[in-house]
Structure 1
C-alpha cells in the first residue's frame, strides 16, 4: 500500500496547481534549505542590480568620451585658426585693411643679457 501513496505524491509534485498553490513549499528539501534559497535569491537580485548599475556607468563613460573627443577637435580647430591669424603676413594685411600707420621692423629684436 505504500506504493500508491508514492505515485500519488509524485503526481502531486508535477502538477501545476500543486506548484502554484504553494504545496511545493511544504516539501522537506525546501523547508530544510530555506535560508540558503533566500540567500541565493538575494544574491541574484544583488547581481542583477549591480549589472544594471555597471551598464548605466558604461553608457555614461561612452557619452563622456564622445564629448571629450568633440571638445578636443574643437580646441584643435580653434588653435589652428588662431595660429593662422597670428602669422606675420596675416597681421600685416589686417593692419593695411584697418588703415593703421604701422610697419614691421626692419632690424631684428635685440636680446639683453645681464
Structure 2
C-alpha cells in the first residue's frame, strides 16, 4: 500500500515539473507519436494560413464592392448630366451663346423603307 501511495504522489509531483522541465519529451510515447504530432502541427499551420488568406480576400472583395458602388453613382450622375445637356432647349441655348446660326427644321423627319 505504501508503494501505491508513492507512485500516486510521484505522478502528482511529476505532472507540472515533468511537463515544464521537458522530461516528457524523453518518453517513448512522444517518439512513437512524433509523426502524428508533426502532421497536427502542419495542419494547424495550414488552417491558420488558409484563414488569413480568406480574410485577406474578404477585405479585397469589400473594397471592390465599394469601388463598384462609387462607379455606379458616378455613371448615374454622368448620364443625368448628358440627358440634361442634350435637351433641345439646352442645345438651343448653347448655339445662341456661341452665336452659331442654326435653326430647327420645319419639316418633320421621315423614314425610307425598302420595297
Query: Shorter-chain TM-score: which interval?
Result: 0.7 to 0.9
Higher RCO (CA < 8 A, seq sep 6+): 1
- Normalising by the residue count of structure 2, what TM-score does the alignment of the two structures yield? 0.86
Give RMSD over aligned pairs.
Answer: 1.7
Distance 1:10 1:24 in 2: 14
1:13–1:24 Cα contact (<8 Å) kept: no
User: 4+ runs of 1 displaced by more than 6 Å?
Assistant: none
Structure 2 unaligned runs (5+)? none
Distance 2:64 2:93 in 1: 41
- Normalising by the residue count of structure 1, what TM-score does the alignment of the two structures yield? 0.87
* Count of aligned pairs between the two proteins: 112
Distance 2:25 2:98 in 1: 92
Q: Which residue of 2 aligns with 1:73?
A: 73
For each residue in 1:78-97, what CA deviation from the matched residue of structure 2 results, as whole angstroms up to 9, or x when unmatched? 01101110011110111111
Q: Which residue of 1 aligns with 2:10?
A: 8
Structure 1 unaligned runs (5+)? none
Distance 1:70 1:21 in 2: 60
Q: Which residue of 2 aligns with 1:107?
A: 107
Shift of 1:30: 2.5
Distance 1:12 1:28 in 2: 16
